Structure 1
Amino acid sequence: MTGGTLCLNGAGRLRIIDIGGPTVESTARFNASLGFEPDLLWSYYITGLELVGGLLLVLGLLTRPATLLFTGLLVVATFYVTPRFGFWSRDGDVQYAALLLVLILSILVRGDGAYSLDRRIGRGF
C-alpha cells in the first residue's frame, strides 16, 4: 500500500494519471522557493523516486535500497519542508509526510515480505 501510494504520486506528478496535485514543473518552482537547487533536477529525482521506487516496493524488489532513498526524502519532507505549513493534512501535510516516514522506516527495518520478488529470486534484503 505504501509503495502504491508513492508510485501513484509520481505518476500523478508526470500526469501519467490525472489525480490533480503538483506537476514536475510546479514541484521545481516549490523546490526553488525552498532553496533546493537545481530545482528541476530535484523535482525529477523526487518524481522518479516516487514512481520507480514505489513500484519496487509494490513488487518487493530491492526493498531496502528503495526504502533508504525514501527515508532521506521523507526526513527532509517531514522535518524541513512541511512543518512551516502546519501539522494537519488540510494545512500542508506534516501528518501525511510523518505517516509515510514511519511506514517506510518499518519496511526498512522489517525488509521484504514473504511474497516479495527479492525472496522469490533468493535475494532477500
Structure 2
Amino acid sequence: MKKVLFQTDQNWASFFIRLGLGIVLFPHGAQKLLGWFGGYGFKATMNYLTRDVGLLWLIALLVILIESIGSLLILAGFTTRVTALLIGIQFIGIILTNHIDNGFFMNWEGTQAGEGFEYHLLVIAMSLVLLMQGGGRYSLDRRIGTKDAVGETTHKVDSPRQAVKYS
C-alpha cells in the first residue's frame, strides 16, 4: 500500500505541475476556509454551498478542505496521488453542478451568465498527471516512498556507485 501511495521518481514535470496546481488552488481554498483574498470564509461558504448550490453538508465541507488543505498537501508533495484524485473528482463535480451550462470559455468580458469550465479542465488534467506520476522531485512522497527496511532513504539512480543513503 505504501508503494502505491508514495512511490514517485525525480520527475521535474511532476514537480512543476505540483507547484502550479498548489499555487493556483491555494488562494481559492483560503477564500473558502479563512476568508483570505476577498473570500467569505468558512461559515458563509458552507451556507452558500449547502443552501444555494444544494450540496450536502459533508460534501460542502470536503470541497472546502480539498481546496485549502489539499492545495498545501499538493505543494508539499504529501499523499500527492490521493489528493490529486480528490481534486480531480471535485473539479468534475464543479463543472457538472456549476459551470457546464456556461460553456467552455471563462467570462473574461462579463457577457456570459457565469464562468465556463476551461480552468476546471486544466485542474483536472494536472490532477491526472499527478495521480499517474506522483509528486516527483522534492516531494515528501519521494522521501517516504523510498525508505528501506532499516529506516534509511535510498534514491533510485542509474548506477550503484551513484546511490546515496540518507539517515
- Length-normalised TM-score, structure 1: 0.80
Residue 31 of structure 2 is aligned to residue 12 of structure 1: yes
Closer, same or farther in 2 for the Cα pair 1:122/1:106, shift >3 Å? closer
Q: What is the 5 A alignment of 1:27-106?
A: 28-38=47-57, 41-90=58-107, 91-106=114-129
Report deviation, 1:31. Answer: 4.2
* Unmatched runs of 5 consecutive residues or more in structure 1: none
Secondary structure, counterpart of 1:88 in structure 2 = coil
**What's the CA shift string for 1:24-73, capped at 9, x where partnerless?**
424532443343223xx433221111111110110111101111111211
CA distance in 1, matches of 2:49, 2:97: 13
Amino acid at match of 2:81: R
Instruction: After TM superposition, give the deviation of residue 82 of structure 1 in Å.
Output: 0.9
Structure 1 pair 123–11 and aligned structure 2 pair: CA distance change class (3 A): farther
Matches within 5 A, 1:101-116: 101-116=124-139
Bigger Rg, which one: 2
- Aligned residues of 1:28 and 1:42 also touching (Cα < 8 A): no
Greater share of helix: 1
For 1:100 and 1:27, locate their aligned partners in 2 and report how far apart those are by CA, in whole Å: 22
Post-superposition CA distance 1:62-95 (Å, at most 9, x none):
1011111112111111233211233222131311
Cα RMSD of the aligned pairs, angstroms, is 2.3
Q: Percent same amino acid at aligned positions? A: 28
- CA distance in 1 between counterparts of 2:53 and 2:34 reads 24
AA matched with 2:38: G
CA–CA distance in 2 between the matches of 1:114 and 1:28? 39
Q: Which has the higher contact order (CA 8 A, sep 6+)?
A: 2
Gaps in structure 2 of 5+ consecutive residues = 1-19, 108-113, 148-167
Between the aligned partners of 1:123 and 1:89, the Cα distance in structure 2 is 41
Number of the residue aligned with 2:154: none
